[in-house]
Amino acid sequence: MARRVVVTGVGALTPLGNDIETTWNGILAGKSGIAAIESFDVSLFSTRFGGEIRNFDPAKYMDRKEIKRTDRFVQLAVAASAMAMQDAGLGEITDPAEQERFGVIIGSGVGGIHTHETQHSRYLKGGPGRISPFYVPMMISDMAAGYVSIHCKARGPNFCTVAACASSAHAVAMAFRSIKYGESDMMLTGGCEASLTPMGLGGFCSCKALSTRNDSPQAASRPFDKERDGFVLSDGAGVLLLEEYEHAKTRGARIYAEIAGAGSTADAYHITAPVPGGEGSMRAMKLAAQEAGVSLEEIDYINAHGTSTPHNDPTETAAIKSLFGDRAKNGLVVSSTKSMVGHLLGAAGGAEAIFTSLAIYHGIVPPTINYTTPDPECDLDYCPNEARQLKIDAALSNSLGFGGHNISIAIKAV
């Protein structure tokens, strides 16, 4: 028998702040977290700004030995998971039976790219003998889920999802279904990414995917705006504590929202470009709504993938119009929180599931900032520049990834 799944804790580190409260307040204020990159020399790059996580101290969450043996993406995941546990009012899980019903699924699109770069540099300078024995466990993408499970004593389902920019949305979907179908009672899920490195930035610069507004970085992420010129690369993590509804009620947990459905599809069209018309993402939204048992008329808000790229934004707009018909322009509100935090790549879906849950809980739609010049191809209500009070009964959170991956998460009020 299918069970209900609710969100009882959230934790995040984004360019707006190193906790969910600071991040959420920044989003509601329409603040940009994008600035010039300071962590390495960017003078030779065509894009010299991004969404860095500043003043993060992993020692608050991990011991010195662990910090030396982990990549930054793992450290961000451990921190966000600890925040989610605290937010859910949970201490250490000590009962072995409860530990076995508690799992972790955390996605990352890139994994330990910083570790790979530094270790490759050591190899070039000193040969294979200079490569750290911790190189492999520091680099591989599943280590975020592994470390979080150790820290939280979670002995249930444990793995990583990798689907480019849809990675952590797939993690949320898998965690949701693990609880829905009785495999677990609680799951930590979401994503983490720390790809703002020379190779990470350089790779996206080379494929011309990034905005080059070096003189005005805070205005660079401008989803659905006619003057958009590419996305903004960011680091971050977003982790949710999902819980079976009766389990949460029994312990008196605060409930933000209910994860009610998920739909995943493939474009089967092109490695980096979305299929014209957004047929794949349209089907993902349709499947998510169907599993959630909500009609299209009941959906009030969509947290769009909204990358601020020339191709994504009109394609996602077309997908929404194709599915919702007249409803797309009659009461449906769409926004992209990437306008404020940039694109967290594999962590984006987890963070945006948090933002969507909080939007439902607080009855407020996050804005799409930097929206100044309407695009005839992007003609929906994107909640431009200012947050808007709105009772949200049901919402969708969309994530799309290189490789043609599409996923939509349906989230409802409780």
Instruction: Give CA separation, 352 vs 114, 193, 261, 280, 286, in Å.
Output: 24, 14, 15, 20, 19
Count the Cβ atoms, other than its own, within 10 Å of residue 55: 7
Helix spans in 207-331 (H): 245-250, 279-292, 312-324
Q: Is the dihedral of CA 221, 309, 170, 297 positive or negative?
A: positive
Q: Give the whole-angstrom CA distance, residue 22 versus residue 311.
A: 31
Kindly provide the residue ranges of all beta strands, DSSP E only, lying in 125-215, ordered along the sequence: 158-159, 186-193
Q: Give the whole-angstrom CA distance, residue 38 versus residue 53.
A: 11
Instruction: Name the β-bridge partners of 7.
Output: 242, 257
Helix spans in 156-308 (H): 167-180, 198-206, 245-250, 279-292
> Collapsing DSSP states into helix, strand and coil, what is residue 258?
strand
- Residue numbers annotated as active site: 165, 305, 343
Instruction: Name the β-bridge partners of 9.
Output: 241
Residue 273 burial (C-beta neighbours within 10 Å; 0-12, 13-18, 19+): middle
Q: Is the dihedral of CA 377, 387, 196, 151 positive or negative?
A: negative
Kindly provide the residue ranges of all beta strands, DSSP E only, lying in 220-363, ordered along the sequence: 236-244, 257-266, 299-303, 333-335
Q: Is the dihedral of CA 258, 301, 340, 272 positive or negative?
A: positive
Q: Which amino acid is at 264?
A: S
Q: Do the beta carbons of residue 191 and residue 235 sit within 8 Å?
A: no
Nearest one of 31, 343, 392 to 168, comparing CA atoms: 343
Tokens 């006619």 belong to 226
